[in-house]
Chain A
Amino acid sequence: MVKKVFERPLSWIERVLFLDFIKGLSVTIRHAFRKTITTHYPYEKLTPPKRFRGFFGHKVVNGKEPQPAFDEWVERFKIKVEAGSSRCVVCMLCKRACPVPQLFEIEGEKLPDGRRKVSVFNMNMMLCTFCGFCVDACPVDCLFQSDIHETASYSRKDAVLDLETLERIGRDWQRRREEEPDRIWIDDHQRQRLWYENQVNLKEVKG
């Protein structure tokens, strides 16, 4: 059954004295003299929450890898572990999980001493939907999504993240935010921090 709801009609006194107008006007005048709530974007920028799904990065080996998973994968694939470079074990699980797998271009190389390491890791951001499935799939907490969100570029080529860029984003992230508690609601002082703290210089945009 449809329930009909009618607005209360204005009373005689309300009509004559424009009380409904005055109510609305008082609301707007109160707001007009309050502080503005905007961020003056190109000049001041907010830091997104830690779990923001922005550009991708590779966390580097720094002794905080998830154990025992990391050691197991390293042993299984005979990966050369080097402090300060990518944790990637070339398991291809990220590519498996991806809804657009062709955006990944992953290759490993065999070193002279018989161990292996990742040599090529390209992600084409033109195809990416930022769904985060690859991050969930990563068994060694290597691939992750950072708070880098200003990703415009002049050419399609600049939208491809290569291994070096991914590692740089990862190092920067670990320096800035690894210790930060993993909040969902970030409306406290963390949110007031500004974007400039990151030192990732993405590829120069050549006009």
Chain B
Amino acid sequence: MEGVVAWLVITLIKILVILGIVLGIGAYLTLVERKVAAHIQRRPGPMVVGWHGLLQPLADGLKLLTKEDLFPRYGNRFLYNLALVMALVPATLVFAVVPFGPEFEVFGIKVKPILTDVNIGLLLVFALGSMAVFAIALAGWASNSKYALIGSMRKAGIVVSYEVVITFAVMGPIILAGTLSTYDIVQKQIEQKLWYLWLQPIAFVVYMFAMLAETGRVPFDIQEAEAELVTGFTVEYGGMKFGLFPLVEWYIEVLSLSAIAVVLFLGGWSPINIPFLGFVDPLFFLGPLSPFVWFILKVSLLFLFVLWLHWTLPRYRIDQVTETAWKVMLPLTLVNLVLTAVVAPLIWR
């Protein structure tokens, strides 16, 4: 009985922590993005609200919350609101299978800093990732607007192409680790003393591209395309409902996919890796906190890299985007998959 209670309490705490971190950080990443974009363009960015604009996300949230809730004539109200839920819930659920650090002990209870260590964690991630297309298709359809519909169709096309690519790209690390559980994949990388990035550079690059495409980040932000489509499927949304889509797409999804990339290719919470030799930890003085810091550091670096790409590159056309997916990336990942499948058993078995 006591075990069940403890388990319940721990799970509740985990849920609260993860939700707080994800939504709170998601809001603050808007500030990070604005600052990075501004400095790339040699502007200081928001400076007025709080020290260097630190309270800007709160001001933005307040403004969005107090705005009038508009609804397009002849739209479908049920689907219109359902799209919001469909966008937010799967994107947040992905964090259920992200391991933040190694197992540790508090008051004699062993705690794994991962909400549910299911043995098919990665499958769950990509299943939930494909759910995003429903939200966008519904949003475009329910808005009764041509721009929104075109935007959502484009996004649907992109997500369908890139889901295939991203699934094949992560196949390599899965073969190397021999498991689908995110926690075990990191454990395997630590046991084998090898970040899978060193053996799977092609998969990593393809994964990064597919991640940009799925989250609508710049070289592939064709469903937004401010110049042609205003802002794509969010055209008819107002107030916080409008704020939610970019929050989910640009921040929460990028964050979750960066975390998965770190788990798959960069060894999760492990410190800097020298292939096949071991790990070097310049942050050893943090003691038991060091793995968590490493994980957060890697995720934030990856996120900053995505921002950097976003504010550097121009936009591809829709045909170029899908062409790249089917004609270049998919064959590349297939070759990578075959090579991995042949080579991996030779090394470890």
Contact = CB atoms under 8 A, between A and B. Distances in A.
Contact of A31 (B40, B44, B309): B40
Contacts of A25: 308-309, 312
A207 interface: no
Interface string A117-158: 000000000000000000000000000000000000000000
A31 B41 contact: yes
Nearest to B305: A25
Interface string B301-325: 0000000110111000000000000
Contacts of A24: 312-313
Interface in A10-50: 21, 24-25, 27-29, 31-38, 40
Contacts of B312: 21, 24-25, 27-28
Contacts of A21: 309, 312-313
A21 B314 CA distance: 10
B39 A32 contact: yes
Interface of B: 36, 38-44, 47, 308-309, 311-313
Interface of A: 21, 24-25, 27-29, 31-38, 40
Nearest to B39: A32
27 contacts: A21-B312, A21-B313, A24-B312, A25-B308, A25-B309, A28-B308, A28-B312, A29-B308, A31-B39, A31-B40, A31-B41, A32-B36, A32-B39, A32-B40, A32-B308, A33-B39, A34-B42, A36-B38, A36-B39, A36-B42, A36-B43, A36-B44, A37-B42, A38-B43, A38-B44, A40-B44, A40-B47
A105 B43 CA distance: 45
A28 B40 contact: yes
Nearest to B313: A24
Contacts of A34: 42
B171 to A, nearest CB: 21
A32 B47 CA distance: 16
A36 B313 CA distance: 21
Nearest to B44: A36
Which of B311, B312, B313 gathers the greatest number of chain A CB atoms within 10 Å?
A: B312
Given A31-B39, A35-B42, 10 more contacts: A25-B312, A28-B40, A28-B311, A32-B40, A32-B308, A33-B39, A36-B39, A38-B42, A38-B43, A40-B44
A92 B170 CA distance: 82
B200 to A, nearest CB: 16
Contacts of A36: 38-39, 42-44
Contacts of B44: 36, 38, 40
A36 B42 CA distance: 5
B46 to A, nearest CB: 11
A21 B310 CA distance: 11
Contacts of A35: 42
